[in-house]
Amino acid sequence: MILKDKNVIVGVTASISAYKACELVRALQKDGATVRVALTPRAREFVGEMTFKALTGEEVLWDWRSGKTSLEHIYWARWADAFAIAPVSANTLAKLRFGMADNFLTTLALAYDKPIVLAPAMNTKMFENVATQENLKALSERGHIIVDPACGELACGEEGAGKLADVEDIKTAILYAIFEKPLKGKKVLITAGGTREFFDPIRYISNNSSGKLGHELAKWAYILGADKVYLVSAPTCERKPYCVERYTVNSADEMYQKVMEFVDDVDVIIMNAAVADFKPTSYSSKKLKKDSQELTITLEPNVDILNELGKRKKEGQILIGFAAETEDLEKNAVQKLKKKNLDAIVANKTEVFSSDVFSGKIIFKDGSILEIPPIPKDEAAYRILKEIFSKIR
């Protein structure tokens, strides 16, 4: 419940995608937030206040007469930890740029003194119109957080930019607006997933890593303020996190090469990937036939990426490793930490692989240990980064 005790206002304007605001409200509530909804008067023609009232259990406001007092725009602005307008129409963007306060939502926006998350949605021509682009630029320069629309088929039948961004990405931007920024000024490289070591065009040796924790770590590195986040991942079903540059690789050798491209540019490296220790000694470019009763695959050691990173660690660079063990978790993790020149290691049992829940320990270079109890992987990623960066500055 990463948003427990947090108050979020979702503003909704008169866009065809207004119904998606219902999903956003639910997603925020699932993370523990208390959500209130403010509508523009015209938005009520798209989704009625009854829907939002039922979803939130809170009052839904669209003008001053709909509130208990005539100063609700001030009280709501004070109440909120985050304020997102999703979808925000071209019309409301223009009003926000010029500080107009002609309805409850725009007045609330003017009374709110922190960055607002703005997720535009509209027809491509409306989005690309110089007026809209200038409004977005001005609002971004003022510090508001713009969640760019996605490309795709729009309700009007046209194709292009203008679809409301994915709810997950809008939620990430809301988290960005709320959380502290201990990673500000840092460039971060994260690896994720289980590498695939092919021995013919379709068959490979791999492991059970889902890449989920690595993707959550990348998402949280962005939320906690990293200037740039590179994610080098083995193939996974996980979505690309918002504002993260993701590169997909197959084998340990490919991962090594990609990691080496960024290594000199980054301040922090988090090696979360489950890199296969061994790879087949031979590769058949033709699919192997099942003619014989037996197939022997000989394996040889893979490149030890973490070890190489530890050897070439530059002054001030922070290197974090992961250790998954079936037994002697702490002892093996401490050995790995020392041998590979790490600043900290996150140790977990192998059961954590492909699970939605993480538990383990963070072991620091100075010998101190911090337990992470079983929690969902998104919360675990936040805890891991927060704990590491409050200790290692």
Catalog residues that contact ligand FMN under the rule CB under 6 A: 13-17, 40, 42-43, 89-92, 121-122, 126
SS3 readout for the chain? CCCCCCEEEEEECCCHHHHHHHHHHHHHHHCCCEEEEEECHHHHHCCCHHHHHHHHCCCEECCHHHCCCCCHHHHHHHHCCEEEEEEECHHHHHHHHCCCCCCHHHHHHHHCCCCCEEEECCCHHHHHCHHHHHHHHHHHHCCCEECCCEEEECCCCCEEEEECCCHHHHHHHHHHHHCCCCCECCEEEEEECECCEECCCCCEECCCCCCHHHHHHHHHHHHCCECEEEEEECCCCCCCCCCCEEEECCCHHHHHHHHHHHHHHCCEEEECCECCCEEECCCCCCCCCCCCCCCCCCEEECCCHHHHHHHCCCCCCEEEEEEEECCCHHHHHHHHHHHCCCCEEEEEEHHHCCCCEEEEEEEECCCCEEEEEEEEHHHHHHHHHHHHHHHCC
Measured CA to CA, the distance from residue 111 to residue 390 in angstroms comes to: 33
Residue 42 or 240: which CB sits closer to ligand FMN?
42
**Least separation in angstroms between CB 79 and ligand FMN:** 22
Per the omega criterion (within 30 degrees of 0), is the bond before 241 cis? no
**Least separation in angstroms between CB 161 and ligand FMN:** 12
Measured CA to CA, the distance from residue 94 to residue 99 in angstroms comes to: 9
Cβ–Cβ under 8 Å, residues 13 and 42? yes
- Spell out the residues 6+ positions from residue 382 whose beta carbon is closer than 8 angstroms to its own: 2, 179, 220, 223, 224
Measured CA to CA, the distance from residue 309 to residue 340 in angstroms comes to: 8
Q: Which amino acid does the sequence have at 177?
A: A
**Least separation in angstroms between CB 163 and ligand FMN:** 9
Radius of gyration of the chain (CA): 24
**Least separation in angstroms between CB 177 and ligand FMN:** 21
Residues with a known catalytic role: 156
Residue 85 or 319: which CB sits closer to ligand FMN?
85
